[in-house]
Structure 1
Amino acid sequence: MKTAFHNYRARMLRVLDHIDRHLDSDLDLETVSDIAAFSKFHFHRQFTATFGLSAHRYIQLARLKRASHRLAYTGDQSVTDIAMDAGYDAPDAFARAFRRRFGQSPSSFRKSPDWEPWLAALGPFDNARSKLMQKTFTFDDVTIREVPVTPVAIMEHRGDPTTIGATIQRFIAWRKAAGLHPKTNPTFNVWRSERRPASPADYSMDLCVGTDQPIETNGEEITVGEIPGGRCAVLRVVGNTDNLEPAALYLYRDWLPASGEEVRDFPIYCQRLAFFPEVPEHEAVAELFLPLK
């Protein structure tokens, strides 16, 4: 029974991996059922039973999620090009589907995203992925690294975490104007509060870009600081870097007590190394740093 379960799980993971890698390709039922090595009849029912939504809806949400990231965070693609990449033959068909899912037209979302309905609409998609893509960490996944002091420019996000997307938009726009590209200037998030504080208003996170150059604020509230050097426990996360809470919990709850180490007086933080949608979602990479004495 255990062997059969692992075989079934591997087949379904193979399907999700294929969808991530081929969002620009034809992902009809026959194609994805062949990847799973199921008949079309059984695959449709098995996928829905496993993930709580049909394969067709899953693929549509995956494409719309990527499209919405491109709309909100990049300005180098037209709405028409984004619509074509999302598998729609015409911008008006894409616009109807986008509005039906997120309550905004693509052009309206690009200018001023309403993040709360966006998060709600993608809830079934994120839940589906978490069923099979939840990473189990081990002691061997954690390394101890001596890191250098890193001067950073900081944009603070304070308040409801559901609005973090708006701060990310401003941060990306500001760093583009300042010429601080992710390929040349590292990107960090420093968590000043829990991911889900008792009051959403108490949520606190710093968006940081590594630079030792003079800062042009371009009208934004940018401060200068540093990420201190020293010993850190480092845990690399590949895929689902939207939610790093399981990795952080593993470091604090499991690794730290067993390691005999003690933490320094600086919050846990991450460096983002590969970003969705520049890479498929399962190839996004982040490293968590837990500062140690």
Structure 2
Amino acid sequence: MTAALRTYHERMQRVLEYIDRHLNDDLDLDGLSGVAAFSKFHFHRQFTAAFGLSVYRYIQLARLKRASYRLAYRDGERVTDIAMDAGYEAPDAFARAFRQRFGQSPSSFRKSPDWEPWLAAFGPLDSARSKLMQTRFTSDDVIIRDVPTTRVAILEHRGEPAMLGATIQRFIAWRKAAGLHPKTSPTFNVWRSERRPTSPADYSIDLCVGTDRPIDANGEQIKVGEIPGGRCAVLRVVGHTDNLEPAALYLYRDWLPASGEEARDFPLYCQRLSFFPEVPEHEAVAELFLPLK
């Protein structure tokens, strides 16, 4: 990549991060073009050319994504507050926009989200963000760490990736009832399958929370297990941690063969250190662990 192109990408990245940090604010072309240090007369065309959607649509989708996360995973928040933070002056305007995008009212989505239309609606947003997300890593990004064995409570997701959101909802509700807050009880994902298996029905992931307490399943199919200790190659990813596939591919395809190390008989897993929407998406942090012999 040329220095000029790298600088251009960095300026566009600044804009996306600014939008993420200021979703509650009035985001206009004058202000955003200033963040990018581009001419305001051309900025909207440059943005559309770079990301495949207009800056207005990008902001709208980013606000709706945060709102939908809060509806699905933060049942204590009022719909009116979520609507106002999404930039709508009244709940009914928010409800119309939400229904148009997802085919459900906000209250219906909160009770029983239909995740497939939700995933499809955010395809353009995910595609735009993937254009500038970190997909290239070096050996300097990987450290080898001795990690302790961690006892975990596990909620398994087996089957369609599109239904993972429903399993996450149940997991959050269970750990909240159990008093296992993310700040005091670490959150892990253990991948038992590829991100995109040949058959979607074969998709498999364990949602885990670290705890030494006795486990009360409280009606959920909670299992007790452990993440074994030992040497691990660790790769930290900052920003847009919904898709950790580029980092996982780097560990398996590039780092492992060149390192002379051998993988241990335990799947790749991650620890989620900070979460969207508690932090802006570009500030979410996850660490991938590749267990080594």
Partner of 1:6: 6
1:24-43 equivalence runs, <5 A: 24-43=24-43
Q: How many angstroms does 1:145 deviate by?
A: 0.5
Distance 2:279 2:65 in 1: 13
Residue 153 in structure 1 maps to residue 148 in structure 2: no
Partner of 1:61: 61
Structure 2 SS opposite 1:224:
strand
Partner of 1:88: 88
CA deviation string 1:203-227 (max 9, x = no partner): 1110000011111111000110000
Number of residue pairs aligned between Structure 1 and Structure 2: 293
CA deviation string 1:42-101 (max 9, x = no partner): 011111111111000000000000000000011221000000111111001111111111
Residue 286 in structure 1 maps to residue 289 in structure 2: no
Partner of 1:213: 213
Q: Which amino acid aligns with 2:42?
A: H
Structure 1 SS opposite 2:108:
helix
Partner of 2:250: 250
Partner of 2:259: 259
Deviates more, 1:37-46 or 1:149-158: 37-46
Distance 1:278 1:161 in 2: 23
Distance 1:255 1:194 in 2: 18
Q: How many angstroms does 1:40 deviate by?
A: 2.4
Distance 1:12 1:2 in 2: 15
Deviates more, 1:3-12 or 1:173-182: 3-12
Residue 271 in structure 1 maps to residue 271 in structure 2: yes
Partner of 2:141: 141
Distance 1:123 1:134 in 2: 18
Q: Which amino acid aligns with 1:44?
A: H
Distance 1:185 1:41 in 2: 49
Partner of 2:125: 125
Distance 2:76 2:85 in 1: 14
Distance 1:187 1:181 in 2: 9
RMSD of Structure 2 on Structure 1 (CA): 1.0
Distance 2:291 2:122 in 1: 33
Partner of 1:99: 99
Q: Which amino acid aligns with 1:93?
A: A
Residue 49 in structure 1 maps to residue 49 in structure 2: yes
Partner of 1:235: 235
- Unpaired stretches in structure 2, ≥5 consecutive residues: none
TM-score (norm 2): 0.98
Q: Percent identity?
A: 81
CA deviation string 1:254-293 (max 9, x = no partner): 0000100011110010000000000000000000001000
Structure 2 SS opposite 1:276:
coil
Distance 1:77 1:39 in 2: 39
Distance 2:230 2:263 in 1: 11
